[in-house]
Amino acid sequence: MSTNPTDLPGRSTLVMTLPQAPLPDVLMARVRAQQDNARAVDYVIDAFFLPAPVRIPRPESVHVMVADVDDLGEWLRVLGGEIHVSPEFEGVELWTLHTQTEPREDGSTTSVLVSVPVPSGELVMDWIRRAVKR
């Protein structure tokens, strides 16, 4: 009797890996746009030491989630923009800063959406509250 695990009874199956198929041009363009957006926002984060615990790049924008409304204020101070406030849900509003990076050499910019949950009725600095879209 054999005790070697490779001496199993029956036939062996050969497993082959195939080369990865190239991505279609449309998909490659979306991947490149997503990478360009990520780099543009990473540059702003690093240059201005902005808080960005969660960063989600997309081909059309980059979503950044921050921990508190003061962090949102840091992004507002650096990039400007307009804050949209969602309707209250379970005692919390979602505050989202709509802004963009400075233009690149080719003139393009990256849309940046910086969001933070804020308890309803929370005291918020006046200069941040003034950026809320009415």
Q: Parse the chain into domains and list their residue ranges.
A: 25-129
Q: At what angle do helices 69-79 and 25-48 cross, to 10 degrees?
A: 100
- Is residue 14 predicted with pLDDT exceeding 60? yes
**How many C-beta atoms surround the C-beta of residue 2 within 10 A?**
8
Instruction: Specify the range with the lowest mean pLDDT, choosing from 23-37, 50-64, 91-105.
Output: 23-37
| Percentage of residues of the chain with pLDDT beyond 90 | 74
Buried b (16+ CB within 10 A) or exposed e, 70-100: ebbbbbbeebebebeeeeeeeeebebbbbbb
Q: What is the pLDDT of residue 1?
A: 53
Per-residue pLDDT tens over the stretch 82-101: 999 999 999 999 999 999 99
CA distance 27 to 39: 18
Q: What is the pLDDT of residue 25?
A: 81
Average pLDDT of the residues in 46-53: 97
